[in-house]
Amino acid sequence: MDRVIDVRGLTKRFAGRTVVDAVSIAVARGEILGFLGPNGSGKTTTIRMLCGLLRPDAGEGTCLGFDILHEAARIKREVGYMTQRFSLYEDLSIEENLDFVARVYAVPRRREAVEAALERLGLAARRRQLAGALSGGWKQRVALASCLLHAPKLLLLDEPTAGVDPGARRDFWAQIHALAAEGMTVLVSTHYMDEAERCHRLAYIAYGKLLVTGTAADVIAHSGLSTYVVGVAGGDERQLAALASALAQERGVTTVVPFGSTLHVSGTDAAALDGVRDRYAASGAQRWRRAEPSLDDVFVRLTQQAEDNYA
Amino acid sequence: MTPLQPFSWARFVAIARKELVQMRRDRLTFAMIVGVPILQLVLFGYAINADPKQLPTAVVDHDRTVFSRSLVQAVANTGYFRVVAVPAGEDAADRMLERGRAQFAIVVPPGFGRALQRGERPALLVAADATDPSATGNAIAALTTLGAAALRHDLSGPLAALAPPPGPFEVRLQRRYNPEGVTQHNIVPGLLGVILQMTMVMMTAFAVTRERERGTFENLLATPATPLEVMTGKIVPYIAVGFAQATIILAAAKLLFDVPMLGSGALLVACMTLFIAALLALGFTISTVARTQLQAMQMTFFFFLPSLLLSGFMFPFRGMPGWAQALGEVFPLTHFLRVVRGVLLKGNGAADTLPHLWPIALFMLAAAAVALLRYRRTLD
Ligand SMILES: Nc1ncnc2c1ncn2[C@@H]1O[C@H](COP(=O)(O)OP(=O)(O)O)[C@@H](O)[C@H]1O
Ligand SMILES: [Mg+2]
């Protein structure tokens, strides 16, 4: 069983509106797939179809070797699903939450498993604290621990780090990589580009359509974008903003993305973009430096394209 | 590959335990479990508990003999009547009844004394405002046994032959406004059904909608728990709650209102279990249909009101038109009221009770079937 997730043509409609449109995803064992896309693009819906929480209107495939249409019950036993919304029981304590999950999944040697999870979390002393009283970062840690209690083979994590501080995010990613190294397969949706770069492979979805898949380097290489980093003398904010809106009007410029005190100016037609550079740089008020497009530049471009095509 | 279990005891226990812990933590739910029975008993108890004495009475004495005077004195001596007026005619007495100035109007007809002496058993006319029958019931009872004692003194010597039985005169009673005299013994056992219905349906109706609103339902669906496990796991803890409430109500019925308990306790418990299970199945059905807790609450009341009105708790069942009775037969409360009243007050046994149980069982099966059909394993 090489491909832990292998689905083709997944489609979901809500009230006649196609929310996920013929999405095909393959994820190998031990791989971390980053699932990216703007809000409302169908990430959560796709994840729900993978673990049997929604029935696809079209499409087929397997998850952990089980048919997603007919063997949802088997898939559920071996998947750890962390929902987008924090969904432990806020009126149960940390320990009661873990114990409940362990019971429902019939975890062998339940008490020890819960105890070990509490120890690993460093929450053994706060076990009786209500889950609702935890801070964002701790909620996320407890939620992840509760997904892992039954030793799943596949983790589906829906925006697990939204609203979590950088320290907790770093710990979280260290843990994900450690799990993947032991053979865990992970599909994780995120909005953070730094997190996208930590994934083995990426899948980008917009308006329900899967636009690209591949490693970060592949995605950048196949984007066909050329990019300049543009700075203004003295780093004046107002000048930079004026420049950004002027550049956005230019033919040959597809995206202008502010990056600190610089702008990332990208275009699909390298010659046209160079023409723009020559005209603007002539004034001497700006520094134009050629650069690799970042993932962000690529995704902004992809979303624009999708908007033009489908929205 | 381990086989899939259709029903896992461990998962059922996990869900039931969780519900119990949540119930204990939720002060409002807990207050509802204990508070609702007590509150309702106290509220209804005011109307029921009173064995009111000194009820305002108007006496119209057309006879004005030693007999009529003794009679009026004896009436007052029962303690139930307080003569507030001695109007000259029935019209005035009726007006007092109408305006609520008097609860009773007693009319001694002309020639009462003479007729009594002749042994003609003359009629004493008593008009009672029976709008609140629990207020008049005991007084009327006192009046009907009065005849014998009241006139024994005056019916001495040759008249002794007229002494009871039968009574020397006849009390003709007109209960006005409420023909079926409901008493506290009727209401308190009924309250058992009403309180159970309200809390049981409402609490289970919230069971799934609460999870949906809080976002925990998606997690629950993502676990291997099956619909049957979730349903039973969420229902069984509330059966225990139902029995706790029933204990409170029955203890109060005995201690405060002295309701007789003639029938078998085991039979009552068995019937109560069925009734509670039917209510919980209904509550669970509501919770699979309602999207929010507010909707669940509205649906509960949508069910609660007609069942309360048509069950025979509020209004006499036999007084309702045919279609209303037919509708009333659908509600488990209607049958449960008959069961409880029968078992407690009449000492009915299993054979008398059975005809009222199968409609409850049928209702439960129907509700559970709808619940299982409606409960989806997916979020669609
Ligand atoms: N149960 C549902 N019923 C109707 N529309 C839905 C439902 N769930 C999601 N949608 C719609 O589908 C689209 C995709 O949603 P979602 O999968 O949550 O996107 P993402 O997770 O990428 O933000 C959104 O427009 C959302 O409003
Ligand atoms: Mg989402």
- Tell me the three-class secondary structure of B104-131, residue by residue: EEEEECCCHHHHHHCCCCCEEEEEEECC
User: Which tokens in the block code for residue B161?
Assistant: 């032959």
From the CA of A162, the nearest ligand is 2
Handedness of CA A20, A22, A28, A32 (dihedral sign): negative
Residues A190, B343: Cα–Cα separation, whole Å: 64
Lowest mean pLDDT among A257-271, B76-90, B189-203: B76-90
Separation in Å, CA of A150 to nearest CA in chain B: 11
H-run or E-run covering A194: helix A193-197
pLDDT of residue B179: 35
Which strands sit side by side in the sheet containing A185-189, from one edge to the other?
A: A79-82, A154-158, A185-189, A32-36, A201-206, A209-214
Give alpha helix (H) positions in B215-349: 216-222, 227-255, 265-289, 293-310, 322-328, 332-341
pLDDT digits (tens, 9 = 90+) for B29-73: 778 778 878 887 777 765 554 456 778 888 898 888 888 888 888
Distances (CA, A) of B351 to B193, B342, B356: 21, 11, 10
Nearest to A126 by CA among A141, A144, A106: A141
Average model confidence (pLDDT) across chain A: 91
Dihedral pair phi/psi, residue A144, rounded to 5°:
-65, -45
So what's the pLDDT on residue B181? 39
C-alpha to C-alpha distance for A63 and B327, rounded to whole angstroms: 51
So what's the pLDDT on residue B183? 55
Partners of A130 in the β-ladder: A93
| Contact between residue B310 and residue B334 where contact means Cβ atoms under 8 Å apart | yes
Kindly report, residue by residue over B133-177, the tens digit of the pLDDT: 656 766 777 776 666 555 555 555 555 554 444 455 656 555 443
How open is the CA angle B367-B369-B375, to the nearest 5 degrees? 100
Smallest Cα distance from A178 to chain B, Å: 24
pLDDT at residue B180 greater than cutoff 50: no
**Range of lowest pLDDT (A269-273, B75-79, B314-318, B331-335):** B314-318
**Is pLDDT above 60 for A9?**
yes
List the residue whose alpha carbon is closest to atom 18 of ligand 1. Answer: A44
**pLDDT tens track for B315-362:** 767 777 889 889 999 999 999 998 988 888 778 888 888 888 999 999
Helix (H) or strand (E) holding A209: strand A209-214
**Helices first, then strands: H and E counts in chain B:** 15, 5
Identify the residues whose C-beta falls under 6 Å from ligand 1. Answer: A 14, 19, 37, 39-45
Supply angle C-alpha B137, B142, B143, rounded to 5: 100
CA of A47, closest atom in ligand 1:
17
Written out in words, the top-level CATH class of the domain with range B55-176 is: alpha beta
Q: Using the beta-carbon criterion (under 8 Å), do B8 and A79 form an inter-chain contact?
A: no
Higher pLDDT: A120 or B130? It is A120
CB contact under 8 A, B17 and A100: yes
Are B341 and B180 in contact by the 8 Å Cβ rule? The answer is no
Q: Across the interface, do B218 and A87 touch by the CB < 8 Å criterion?
A: yes
Alpha carbons A131 and A96: distance in angstroms, whole number: 9
Ligand nearest to the CA of B380: 1
Q: Do A85 and B215 touch (CB under 8 A)?
A: yes
Distance from CA of A240 to the nearest CA of B (A): 44
A73 interaction partners in chain B (CB closer than 8 Å): 4, 224, 226
Tell me if residue A26 falls in helix, strand or coil: strand
- B105-136 pLDDT, tens digit per residue, is 888 888 888 887 887 778 778 888 766 665 67
Q: Say how many Å lie between the CA of residue A264 and the centre of ligand 2.
A: 28
The first and second tokens of residue B121, run together, are: 């058993």
Inter-residue contact A266 to A254 (CB < 8 Å)? yes
Cβ <8 Å between A87 and B216? yes
CB distance B359 to B332 below 8 Å: yes
**Domain A225-292: CATH architecture, name and number where available:** 2-Layer Sandwich (3.30)
Among all bound ligands, the one having the nearest atom to the CA of A20 is 1
More confident residue, A305 or B185: A305
* pLDDT 10s digits, B186-245: 777 788 899 899 888 988 888 888 898 888 989 998 999 988 898 889 888 988 889 988
Q: What is the pLDDT of residues A214-251, one digit of tens each?
A: 999 999 988 889 999 998 877 788 888 888 999 989 88
User: Using an 8 Å Cβ cutoff, are B129 and B177 in contact?
Assistant: yes
Where along chain A do its domains lie? 3-92+147-220, 225-292
Does A55 sit within 8 Å of B380, measured CB to CB? yes
Phi, psi of A66 (to 5 degrees): -100, 145
From A310's Cα to the closest Cα of chain B, the distance in A is 25
In B, which residues are within 8 Å of A52 by CB distance? 377-378
Query: Taking residues A270-297, what's their average pLDDT?
Result: 88
d(CA B165, CA B357): 44
Closest CA to ligand 1's atom 9: A45
Range with lowest mean pLDDT among A19-33, A98-112, A174-188, B195-209: B195-209
Q: What are phi and psi of B218, to 5 degrees?
A: -60, -40
Radius of gyration of chain A (CA): 23
Domain A3-92+147-220 falls in which CATH fold? Rossmann fold (3.40.50)
Which residues from chain B sit within 8 angstroms of residue A53, using beta carbons? Answer: 218, 221-222, 378-379
Mark yes or no for CB contact B25/A100 under 8 Å: no
**A125-155: per-residue pLDDT in tens?**
999 999 999 988 899 899 999 999 999 999 9
Higher pLDDT, A180 or B29: A180
**From the CB of residue B47, how many other CB atoms can be counted at a distance below 10 Å?**
13
Size of interface A-B (CB pairs under 8 A): 76
Rounded (10°) angle between helices B265-289 and B184-214: 40
**Backbone dihedral angles phi then psi of residue A255, each to the nearest 5 degrees:** -140, 145
Q: What is the pLDDT of residue B2?
A: 65
Asked if residue B176 lies in contact with residue B129, where contact means CB atoms within 8 angstroms, the answer is yes
A residues 48-77 near B, CB within 8 Å? 48, 51-55, 72-74, 76-77
Domain ranges of chain B: 55-176, 184-374
Distance, CA A45 to ligand 1 centroid (Å)?
Answer: 6
The closest-lying atom of ligand 1 relative to the alpha carbon of residue A41 is 22
Dist. CA A281–CA B170, nearest whole Å: 121
Query: Which amino acid, one-letter code, is at A242?
Result: A
Region of poorest pLDDT, from A38-42, B8-12, B184-188, B213-217: B184-188
Q: Which residues are paired to B173 by β-bridges? A: B126
* Residue B144 parent element (H or E): helix B133-144
